[in-house]
Structure 1
Amino acid sequence: MFADVRKIAGLAWPVLIGQLAIIAFGVMDTAMVGRYSAVDLAALGLGSSIYISVYIGLTGILTALQPIAGQLYGARQYPEIGEQVRQSLWLAFALMIIGFLILYFPGPLLHLARVPAALYERTLAYLQILAFGLPAGLVFRVYGSLANAVGKPRLVMILQIGALLLKVPLNLWFIFGGLGVPALGGPGCALASTGINWTLAIVGMLLMSRIDVFKPFGIFSRFCWPEWHRQVAQLKLGIPMGLSYLIEVTSYTFMALFIARFGTTTLAGHQIAGNVGAVLYMTPLSIGIATSTLVAQALGAHRPEAARTLSRHGILMAVMIACSYGAIVLALRPLIIEGYTPNAQVAAAAMPLVLIVVFYHVFDSLQVTTAFVLRAYKVAVIPTVIYAVALWGVGLGGGYLLGFDIGGSIPVWLTGARGFWFANMASLGIAGSGLLIYLRTVSRRHLRTGVEA
C-alpha cells in the first residue's frame, strides 16, 4: 500500500499546488470584492456559479483526452497521442462557440434567480467579460489533460503558480482602480482572469510544441481536419464525463440561484461556505487525478490487478485526508469566516453552512476520487446516471423541499440555505456509495478479461 501511496502522492502534490493556485483565484476574488461592496460580493457569487457551470461542463468533455492519452501512453502508442490531441483542439474550438453564447447572453439564467436590478447588472457585466476568456480556458484544459495523462503535472503547476502571481496585482488594480483605470468591483475580477487565461493558453501551446516530453507525439508535426471516428470516440467518453461534471456543478449553481431568493446577506454567506468547500475539494480532486493517471497507464500496459489496487489505495487515501481536514475546519471555523468578511451579518449566515461543509467534504472526497478512477477505465455513462439521480434528485430536489419548507413541516434549523446544503451533503454520500459499488463491478470485469475496455 505504501508504495502506491508514494506513487499517487508524487503525482498528486503538483496537481494540488496547481489547483490551489487556481482556486485561490476564487478565494481572492471573494475576499477582495467582499471589501469592495456586499452587492458586488453577491453578484460575484451568482456570476461565478454560472460561469463555473459552463466552464466545467465544457472542459469536462475535453478531459476525456486524459484517460485516452493515459492508456495510449501506457501502451507506448505515442503517434496516436498526437492524433488525439489535434482532435481535442478541434473539439475545443466547437465548444468555445457554445460557451461564449451562454455567457454573453445569460439573461434566462439571471431571470431565474429573480435578483434585484443592481445585482443583475453587476452579474451580467461579470459574465460578459468572462465570455472572452473562455476560449483560452478550453485550450489550456487540453494542455493540462495531456500533461497529467503522461505523468507530468508539474508542467501544469508551474503555469498555474505563475498565473496566481499575476492575479494578485491585476485584481487589486481592476477591482479598486488606479493608474487611470476606474474601480470596477466584481467585473474587475473577470477582466483579470480573462487576461490570465489567454496568457496560459498561449504558453501551453508553445510548451506542447517545444518540450522534449511532448516531442514523440508530434502534435504539431502536421495539420489535420476533424476526423469523424476520432471525434466520436472522444465524445463517446467526453459527453457523459462533461454531463457528470455539469450535474455536479449545476447542483451547486442552482442551489446558489435558489438561495439568492433569501437575500444578499444569505447569498454572501453561501459564497463563503462554497469557497471553503472548494478549497478543501482540491486535495481529493488532486488525488483523483493522480490515481486516474496511474490506473489508466496500468490498464494500457494490461496490468488490471495493479489498476485495481491503485484504485483502492487512492480512494482510501483521499477519504482519510478528508476526515483530517474536517476536524481542522471544525476547530477553526470562526477564524476562517473572519478571514473572508468583516460583516457580522454575513459571518452569521456563513457559520452554520461551514459546519455542514465539514461533513459534506468527506462524502465529496469519496465520490470525486471514485469518479476519476472510473474515468480511467473509460467508464462514464453509469456514473453520470448515478450523479443525476443523487445530485439533481436528492441534492437539488431535496434542497428545494427543505429550503423553502414545501409542506410546512420542516424544522426551522433545516430551512433556508441550511436545507440546501444539508440535502447536497446527503446526495454526495449517496453518489459516492453508488460509484464505489459500481467500481468494484468494473474492476472485477477487467480482472476476468485481463485487457482494457
Structure 2
Amino acid sequence: MEQTYTKKEKVKQLSIILVPILVTQLGLFAMNFFDTIMSGQYSTEDLAGVAIGSSLWMPVFTGLSGILMSITPIVAQLVGAKKEKEVPQSVIQGIYVSIIMALIVVIAGYFALSPILNAMNIDAEVRRIAYQYLIALSFGILPLFIYNVLRSFIDALGLTRISMFITLMSLPLNIIFNYVLIFGKLGLPALGGVGAGVASAITYWLIAAISIFIIHRNRPFKLYQLFSRIYGVSFSKWKEILVIGIPIGFSIFFETSIFSAVTLFMSSYSTEVVAAHQAAINFSSFLYMIPLSIAMALTIVVGFEVGAGRMKDAKLYSWMGVGVAVTISAVLGLIVLFFREPVASIYVKDKQVIALTAQFLFFAVLFQLSDAVQASVQGVLRGYKDVNITLIMTMISYWVIGLPGGYLMANYTDLAYFGYWLGLIAGLTAGAVTLTVRLLILQKRRSSQVSKV
C-alpha cells in the first residue's frame, strides 16, 4: 500500500486491490456454486438437501468469519500508522480466536443440528442429505476459520493477488473432488449432495495449508515472522479483535441469516419451490460477490488512509467505491432480467423448476442496487472502525422490516412465497438508506475534527 495523490492514482490502487479480491471471492463462492449445481444434476432432492444445509451453515459461517474480518482494519491501520511491529501479535491472536470459535461451532452443531432439522417440515430424504452434508462440512471448519484470519492479514497489506492465487489453485481441485464424490467416480460410492460437503472440507484444509506455507516462505509476509515464535494468549488483543469484530460479524449475520430464514420458511412449500428458490438465491449470491469484494477493498484503502490521518483521501475512496458498486450491479441486473431462463437452466433440468427459478430471479434483480449500496457502505464504515451503529441499523432493517414484512406478505396476501422476496427487497433498501446516512454523518464529523486540529 502506498499513499496516493490524484484521482487517477486512487483508481489504480483501488483496482489493484479490488480485482484479486473479486477473483478470490468468486472463486470461494464458486465452491458453493458448484456444490449446488452439481448436486442439482444428481437429483432435485440432493439440491434441496444442500439448499437446507447451506441455509443453516452460511449465516453461521459468514457471521463468525465477519468477526475475524476485524483483522483487516486492525492491520491496515497499523501499517498506515507505521506500527508494523504490532502486526504479528494481532494476527496470531486472531488465529487463537478462530480456533476457539471453530470448536464452539462444532460442539454447538453436535447438540443442535438434529433438533433443528427434525423441527422442519421437509421430506425425510432431504433431511438426511442436509444432515450428512453439514456433518461432512464440519471437518473443514477449523482450517477455514484459520484461513480467514491469514487472508485478512494478506489482504490488509494490499497484496490481494496472493489470496487470488491461493483460491485459483484450490478451485479446480474442489470441482474434481465434487465430481468424484457426488457422482461416484474412481471406484468410490456416489454420495450425492453429501459428497459436496466432503469435497469442501478437503479443500478448506488445502487452502489453509497453502496460506501458511506462503506466509512462512515468501516476502513481504516472512518479514513479519508470524510463525517464528510462540505467542502467549493476550486477552487485551482478543478484546480489540472482538470489540471490532463482533459488530461486523453480527451485521453480516443479520443480512445473510434473513436469506437463510426465508429458505427455511420456504421448506413448507414443495421440493420444487425450495429447489427453485435456492437456485435463484445462489445466483443472486454470485452477483453479490461484486459489491462484497468492493466493500472488502474499501475497508483496506479507507483503513489505510484513516490510520494515516488522511480523511479527505478516505472520503474520496469511499464514494468512488460506492459508485463503482452501484454501476456494475445495475448493468448486471439488466443482463439477468433478459436472460433469466438460461440462467435457471444452469441449475436444474426440471422445466417446472426452471420456470419458478426464472420468476424468483425477477425479484432478485430488484434488490441488486440496494444490495450494492449497503454492502459497499458497510465496507467503508469498517475501514473507519465504525461498527456499532451499523450493527443496530442492519438488525432493524433486516429483522424488523425485511423478514416480518416478507412473512406477512407471504402468509396474508396472494403473493405466497414471492412475498418473502419482496420482504428481502424492503429490508435491503432500508439498510442501504440508513447506512448511507450514517456514513455521511461520520465523514462530516471526522472532517470537522481534522479541521479543528
**TM category, shorter:** over 0.9
Shift in Å at residue 214 of structure 1?
A: 1.4
Which residue identity lines up with residue 172 of structure 1 in the other structure?
Y
Inter-partner Cα distance in structure 1 for 2:120 and 2:423: 20
Assess if the C-alpha contact under 8 Å between 1:53 and 1:246 holds in 2.
yes
Match of 2:409 in 1: 402
Structure 1 stretch displaced more, 203-212 or 178-187:
203-212
The correspondence for 2:30, drawn from 18, 24, 28, is 24
Shift in Å at residue 116 of structure 1?
A: 2.1
Inter-partner Cα distance in structure 2 for 1:78 and 1:4: 23
Shift in Å at residue 178 of structure 1?
A: 2.1
Any unmatched runs of 5+ in structure 1? none
Assess if the C-alpha contact under 8 Å between 1:4 and 1:313 holds in 2.
no
Match of 1:323 in 2: 330
Match of 1:444 in 2: 444
Assess if the C-alpha contact under 8 Å between 1:34 and 1:40 holds in 2.
yes
Match of 2:432 in 1: 432
Is 2:424 the partner of 1:415?
A: no
Q: Secondary structure at the match of 1:221?
A: coil
Shift in Å at residue 448 of structure 1?
A: 2.1
Which residue identity lines up with residue 50 of structure 1 in the other structure?
L
Shift in Å at residue 3 of structure 1?
A: 4.1
1:306-336 CA-partner distances (Å, limit 9, x unpaired): 1011101111110111101111111111111
Shift in Å at residue 215 of structure 1?
A: 2.7
Matches within 5 A, 1:338-353: 338-353=345-360
Is 2:288 the partner of 1:281?
A: yes
Q: Secondary structure at the match of 1:262?
A: coil
Which residue identity lines up with residue 416 of structure 2 in the other structure?
T
Assess if the C-alpha contact under 8 Å between 2:147 and 2:208 holds in 1.
yes
C-alpha distance 18-305 of structure 1, shift in aligned 2 (>3 A): same
1:63-119 CA-partner distances (Å, limit 9, x unpaired): 100001010111121110111001101101110111112344412332343222221
Shift in Å at residue 4 of structure 1?
A: 3.0
Match of 1:171 in 2: 178
Inter-partner Cα distance in structure 1 for 2:289 and 2:274: 23
Residue correspondences, number: 444
Inter-partner Cα distance in structure 1 for 2:430 and 2:11: 26
Shift in Å at residue 19 of structure 1?
A: 1.1
Shift in Å at residue 2 of structure 1?
A: 4.7
Shift in Å at residue 164 of structure 1?
A: 0.8
Is 2:103 the partner of 1:97?
A: yes
Q: Secondary structure at the match of 1:35?
A: helix
Match of 2:55 in 1: 49
Any unmatched runs of 5+ in structure 2? 1-6
Q: Secondary structure at the match of 1:136?
A: helix
Is 2:19 the partner of 1:13?
A: yes
The correspondence for 2:46, drawn from 40, 46, 66, is 40
Which residue identity lines up with residue 13 of structure 1 in the other structure?
V
1:127-165 CA-partner distances (Å, limit 9, x unpaired): 011111111100000111111111011110111111111
Matches within 5 A, 1:63-74: 63-74=69-80
C-alpha distance 197-108 of structure 1, shift in aligned 2 (>3 A): same
Inter-partner Cα distance in structure 2 for 1:393 and 1:111: 27
Match of 2:200 in 1: 193
Normalising by structure 1, report the TM-score. Answer: 0.96
The correspondence for 2:245, drawn from 206, 222, 238, is 238
Normalising by structure 2, report the TM-score. Answer: 0.96
Shift in Å at residue 341 of structure 1?
A: 1.2
Shift in Å at residue 231 of structure 1?
A: 0.8
Inter-partner Cα distance in structure 2 for 1:138 and 1:325: 31
Is 2:373 the partner of 1:366?
A: yes
Inter-partner Cα distance in structure 1 for 2:166 and 2:279: 27
C-alpha distance 395-2 of structure 1, shift in aligned 2 (>3 A): farther
Task: Say what the alpha-carbon RMSD is for the aligned residues.
Answer: 1.3
